[in-house]
Amino acid sequence: MAELDTSAGAHKKGPGVRKGKKLSTRVDLTPMVDLGFLLITFFIFTTEMSKPHALKLIMPKDSKDSTLVKAHDVITLMPGKSDHVYYYEGDSLSNLRIADFTSIRDIILDKKRHTDTAWFQVILKPTPDATYKNTVDILDEMTIDGVKHYAMVDLIPAEYALIHITEKANGIR
C-alpha cells in the first residue's frame, strides 16, 4: 500500500509565498514480503526431491546343496587400482591377465560366446584398492552384457599377493 504525506498544509500561490515541501510517498513492502514467503513455501512443498537410485543386487541363499560348475565356464574379474581389471579364466591363477574398463566388455562377451550361456558364470572379487565407482561399473557391465549368473566373493590372500606382484612387474602405482 502507498501512503501520501499531507502534513505540510495547504500550498498558496502568489508573490512572497514560500513553496511548500514536496509531498513524499512511502511504499509499505510488508505485503510483498508476505507474498514472497508464501511463494517460497509453496515451491518448497510442491517440488519433488531427487530419489536415490539403488542397484538391485540379489544375493543367493547359503546352501550346502549347490550345483557344481565346470572351471572352464567361469571367469574371475578383480577390479584393482588405477582403473585396471585383473582376470583369469577357470581356476588357474597362473594365467592372470590385466585389462582396463574399456576392453573388459569384449573379454566378457568373448568368453560368453565360447561358453554355454546356461553355465557361464562371472566371479567378481573387488580388491581393497578398487574404488566404489569401479565396483559399481563392473556390476553395471554384468547387466549390459546380459550375464545372468555372477557373484561377488571375497578376495583370497594368494590372489591379492599375485596382483601386487603383477602391479610391480608392470609398473602400476
Closest CA to 128 of 147, 101, 156, 102: 156
User: Cell numbers of 27, please?
Assistant: 511504499
Give me the helix-helix angle, 132-145 and 104-113, nearest 10°: 40
Q: Is residue 140 domain-resident?
A: yes
Tell whether the model's pLDDT for residue 39 goes beyond 70. Answer: yes
Q: Cell numbers 511548500 correspond to what residue?
A: 20
Q: Is residue 152 domain-resident?
A: yes
Q: Is residue 20 domain-resident?
A: no
Q: Is residue 80 domain-resident?
A: yes
Q: Cell numbers 531427487 correspond to what residue?
A: 50
Q: What is the pLDDT of residues 107-130, one digit of tens each?
A: 989 988 888 777 888 999 999 888
Q: Is residue 136 domain-resident?
A: yes
Q: What does the pLDDT read at residue 167?
A: 82
Q: Is residue 108 domain-resident?
A: yes
pTM for the predicted model, two decimal places: 0.61
Domain count, the chain: 1
Q: Is residue 14 domain-resident?
A: no
User: Residue 4: which pLDDT band, with cuts at 50, 70 and 90?
Assistant: low
Residue range 144-150: mean pLDDT, rounded: 88
In whole angstroms, what is the distance from residue 46 CA to residue 49 CA?
9
Q: Which of 31-45, 64-78, 112-126 has the largest mean confidence?
A: 31-45
Q: What does the pLDDT read at residue 42?
A: 93
User: Residue 93: which pLDDT band, with cuts at 50, 70 and 90?
Assistant: confident
Q: Cell numbers 502507498 correspond to what residue?
A: 2
Task: Supply the range of the domain harboring residue 82.
Answer: 71-170
Q: Is residue 61 domain-resident?
A: no
CATH of the domain at 134: 3.30.420.270
Q: Cell numbers 568368453 correspond to what residue?
A: 111
In whole angstroms, what is the distance from residue 112 CA to residue 28 CA?
75
User: Distances from the Cα of 79 to the Cαs of 70, 91, 113, 116, in angstroms?
Assistant: 23, 17, 22, 25
